[in-house]
Amino acid sequence: MKNSKVILFILIFLKFLTNISHSLAEINVYKKIDLFGEVLEKINKEYVDEINQSESMDSAINGLLQSLDPYSAYMSPEIFNEMQTETSGEFGGLGIEVGMESGVVKVISPIDSTPASRAGIKAGDYIVKIGDIQVQGKSLSEAVDLMRGPVGSSINLTIRRVGQKKALTFDIVREVIEIKSVKAELLEKNVGYIRLTSFNENSGEQIKDQIRKFKKNKNVNAYILDLRNNPGGLLSQAIRITDFFLDNGEIVSTKSRKPSENRKWFAKKGDLINGKTLIVLINYGSASASEIVAGALKDHKRAVILGENSYGKGSVQSIIPLKNKGAIRLTVAKYYLPSGKSISEVGVSPDIEINEESDSFRIKTDTDNQLNYALKLLNR
C-alpha cells in the first residue's frame, strides 16, 4: 500500500513538472511575439524610409516558413488565388521547377522541350536576377510571379552556375507550357527506351501502354527508363510505376510528425517486363517522385542506376488555406526508401556514375554521353 502511494506521488509530481515545462515554453513564445511587435513598431517609427507594414508582415511570415526548409512558403491571397485559377490562355512560363536555397531561387529541373530547356538552363543553376530585379530577398512565390507573363513576351535571367566564374545571362521567350510526360522509342533494335518527364495522373497508364507495345517486339530484351530532369509529381504514380518492375517488397514509406499518419506502400506480384534488364537514368534534375522510383529499384537490385546523383527532395508538402484567403505550403512528411534511408538533401547515388561531358550536352541527342554509355552497356 505504501509503495502504491509513493508511485502515485511520483506520477503526480512528474505531471506537475510537465505542466510547468509547457507553461514556461508558452510564456517564452509569448515573449518572442511581444518582442516581434516591439521590433516592428521601432522599424515603423525609426526606419529611414516609410514602410508598408502589411508587406513587412508577409515577409516575416515567409521568412519563418523558409527557415524550416527550401519548400515551405507563404502565399498571399493574391498568389494563392492565381495558383487556383486556370490562366493557361493568358500567361506563359519558362518550363522550370524551382526551389529556394539561401535566399536565392535554385533550379530543381528544366522541363523537356520548354523555353528554359532549349535555352540551356540546367538543374542546380541559381537565378540571381530576373530582368533588372535582384532575387535576393524575394520569396519563392514572388520570384515565380516575376517569371510569369504574357505568352510571346521575353525575359532576361541572370544565372550563377557552379564551376563558372562569371554570371550567365539568358534571354527566354515565354510560352504556354504543355508537358507530354511520356515519350518512347525503340533504340538499337532491341532496347525499349521510355522517357518520363513528370509524374502526372496519366503517366502510369501511358508507360504501361508503351511497355505492352515493346513486348510485341520479340527483339526487345532490355529497357531504359530515363528520369533525368524529371522534377517529380504525384506520389501515387511513382508508386504505380515502381510496381511495374517489382514482384514484391516495400516501395516507399512516409513518416510525419504524427505516428498515426505514417504509411508504407508495397509492390504487388507481377513484373511487367518479366525480369528483363533495366537501366534507370538519373541526374541532378531528378527529384522527388523520380528519386522514389530510382531509389526503390536500386534498393531491390532490380535496376542499374546510371548517371549523376539526384537532387535530394524527399519531402511531402501540403497546401493549407488560411483565414485571410492566403495559404501556406508546408512540409508535412518525409519519404523513406525500402532501405530506411531518407532522400532529403542526400538524393540517390548512381550505381554507375557518368557525368555530362560538355556544356553542349542535351538529353537524347548525339551529345548525350549518359544514354550512349547505357546503350553500349546493354549491347556489349
- Report, as residue numbers or ranges, the catalytic residues: 288, 299, 313
Helix axes 53-66, 2-46, angle to 10 degrees: 140
Longest dimension (CA), the chain: 85
Q: How many other C-beta atoms lie within 10 A of the C-beta of residue 119?
A: 17
Closest C-alpha to 42, from 26, 56, 62: 56
Phi-psi region of 78 (alpha: psi -120 to 50; beta: other; left: phi over 0): alpha
For the chain, the straight-line distance linking the first and the last C-alpha, in angstroms and rounded, comes to: 81
DSSP assignments along 181-208, one per residue: -EEEEEETTTEEEEEE--B-TTHHHHHH
Q: How far apart are the C-alpha atoms of 239 and 251, rounded to whole Å?
A: 7
Q: How far apart are the C-alpha atoms of 277 and 247, rounded to whole Å?
A: 14
Q: Which residues pair with 196 in a beta bridge?
A: 182
Helix axes 203-215, 235-243, angle to 10 degrees: 20
Closest C-alpha to 72, from 312, 238, 315, 253: 315
* CA atoms 212, 214, 218, 222: torsion sign: negative
For 177, residues 6+ apart whose C-beta sits below 8 A from its C-beta are: 92, 93, 94, 95, 111, 114
Please report where in the chains the cell 528544366 appears, as a residue. 110
Number of helices and strands (H, E) in the chain? 9, 17
Q: How far apart are the C-alpha atoms of 227 and 310, rounded to whole Å?
A: 10
Q: How far apart are the C-alpha atoms of 182 and 180, rounded to whole Å?
A: 6
